[in-house]
Structures are given as structure tokens and as C-alpha cells.
Amino acid sequence: MDLAKTIPVTLLALLPEEDQARRLGPILWTIFAEIEAFFRPAEASGTISIPIGGPPGSSSSASSVATVGAVFSRRFLSNARPPDEIGAGPDEVVGLPPDFDQRMLQGASGTGSSSQPLSSWGEFQSRMPTSAAVGARPVDARLIGAAVHDIAKPSSWTLIVSDLELAPPPSWRYVVWDVIPSGAVVSLAPVDPKYWSEPVQDETHRHQVIKSRTRAACISVVGSLLGLQRCENPTCFMYSNVDSVVRLDDMIHLGPEHGVTELAGRGFDVGGDPRQAASIRTISARTA
Ligand SMILES: [Zn+2]
């Protein structure tokens, strides 16, 4: 049996501040192009075949296959115009309310632990605390999601990638991504070596690390949406136990355990200009 389906996905960059939009915008826009190229292999006419049944690595043969064609669109949300070099079309650019960033940060201090999803931008605003004396604080992913959906009105499942730091679950120190209603949010904050005072050679190296970690996290989240199962292969994008950001450094390809012939072994060239799309090639697992 062959189940064919088309899954629309919106990849959305949320970089409220102009300097961050200029610095990280081109990298993020490139990551979006790489994600699309990864999941839409040209040699397979943009579709992938995912076996249904049995977990990865199980000996039971799948009884059916889902033929999945992901269709991607992109959005750039910022107070600033995106850099010309990324070539974002007018339909892809959405302006934020001028005080979005400040209000988001204020919301973090007062409602960051709220367990109730917000239904609208109006509700988001109404929950703002009156004190303006707040600094940069982690923000609840659902707060970000509610505000973004109200402003950009994406019509599909949406992956939001932002420099805003996400509020972690209780007893966690940080979180790279969080699932929200009709999407997920990935944060660029904890994947930055500077966040941890990790040594980097220079700004290019720093951005290469940010890029590869962010891309691995995004592919992991989109892969789940498309029907890929989590696995126990630490070199695979679908590795189940991402308990720290450095795990993302080892997630370099899609492992063969998923039985997806169009994607098996596919990963990205490393190094180079992080603002240029990396080539996709077959990468064998590193040996320790
Ligand atoms: Zn895997």
C-alpha cells in the first residue's frame, strides 16, 4: 500500500532587532534553503518514501510506505527590512509591531511560566505586566507562537526560528526547541558558542557552529512532522536523546535505520561561508 501526501511547511525567521536581522538573517535564510533541499531531493522529484510500521532498526518489514512531498514556504519577521542579499520576496517579509521585542521581553518576566496558550495578539498584550524594568529573559515558546501566528497568519504548520531564548521546562537549564500548537520554535540562543563561553576561532567559526546546530535541530523537528521516528543513532538527525547542544554537533546525516532510501546518509558539507548554501552529500558515520 502506498500512501501519498503533500505536507505544507512554513519556515519562519523571527529576528526582531535590526542588528540581529542583519547578522543572523542571511545565515537563517540559507539554513531554510538547505532544509528544503534536504527534504526535497531532486532525483526523487521532491518526494521521500517513509516506511510505516516498526521502529527504526527493527527487523519487522514495513507493511506500507508513505510517499511524502513537503512543500516549503518562508517568512522573515522583523522590525527591520531583511538584508537585500537574502533575496526575500515581498510576500515573504512581515513587519512586526514596533514594540514587539520589548513587549515579548516584558511578557517573559510576567507570564513566561503560563501554562495556557494565548489565543491572540490582543490577549498577548493584555497579559503584559506594567513594569518596564525587565531585561532579556527566556520567553515561553507558546507566547512566541501565539504572537507570530496572529501577526504572520501562516496557513500551515510553522517552524519558527528566533534569537529569543526559550523558557525551559522545570528543572531544565535551557531548551533548544519546543513544540507549540501547529508548529515548533527553535532558539538560536543556546546553540551560540558565546552563550556558553565556548572557544571559537573567529566570528566565521562561531557562525558555522550556530548554523550546523540550528540546521540539525530544524531537520530533527521537520523530520518528526513528516513522519520520521526518533532513533538511537547519535550521528543521525533523528537521534532521540538530544540532552545538550553539543549532541547536535554529532548529528551529521540521516541514518540508514529509517529505511528512507532517498535520504539515507544525506548530510551537509562543513566549513565555508555560513551565508552560502552547503552542498548535500552522502556522509558516512564518524568512527570514534
Ligand atoms: Zn536515525
| pLDDT tens by residue, 21-74 | 999 999 999 999 999 999 999 888 999 999 987 556 665 566 788 999 999 999
Residue 8 included in any domain = yes
Centre of ligand 1 to C-alpha 220, Å, is 10
Centre of ligand 1 to C-alpha 228, Å, is 9
Residue 283 included in any domain = no
Residue 267 included in any domain = no
Residue 272 included in any domain = no
Residue 265 included in any domain = no
Confidence of residue 100 (pLDDT cuts 50, 70, 90): confident
Q: Which domain holds residue 29?
A: 2-202
Centre of ligand 1 to C-alpha 252, Å, is 10
Residue 48: name the closest of 85, 4, 79, 88 by CA: 4
Amino acid at 211: K
Dihedral sign for Cα 80, 81, 87, 91, please. Answer: positive
Residue 235 included in any domain = no
Residue with grid cell 535520504, as numbered in its chain: 263
> How many CB atoms are located within 10 Å of the residue 36 CB?
19
Domains contained in the chain, number:
1
DSSP for residue 283: -
Confidence of residue 1 (pLDDT cuts 50, 70, 90): low
Separation CA 219–CA 227 (nearest Å): 12
Centre of ligand 1 to C-alpha 62, Å, is 16
- Beta-carbon neighbours within 5 Å of ion ligand 1: 231, 233, 236, 238, 255, 257
Question: DSSP 3-state assignment of 128?
Answer: coil
Residue 85 included in any domain = yes
Centre of ligand 1 to C-alpha 253, Å, is 8
Percent of the chain with pLDDT over 70: 83
Residue 208 included in any domain = no
More confident residue, 225 or 137: 225
Centre of ligand 1 to C-alpha 36, Å, is 19
Centre of ligand 1 to C-alpha 264, Å, is 9
Provide CB contacts within 8 A for 203, sequence distance 6+.
none
Report which secondary-structure segment, H or E, holds 11. Answer: strand 2-14
Model pTM score: 0.87
Average pLDDT, the chain: 86
> How many CB atoms are located within 10 Å of the residue 46 CB?
16
Centre of ligand 1 to C-alpha 239, Å, is 6
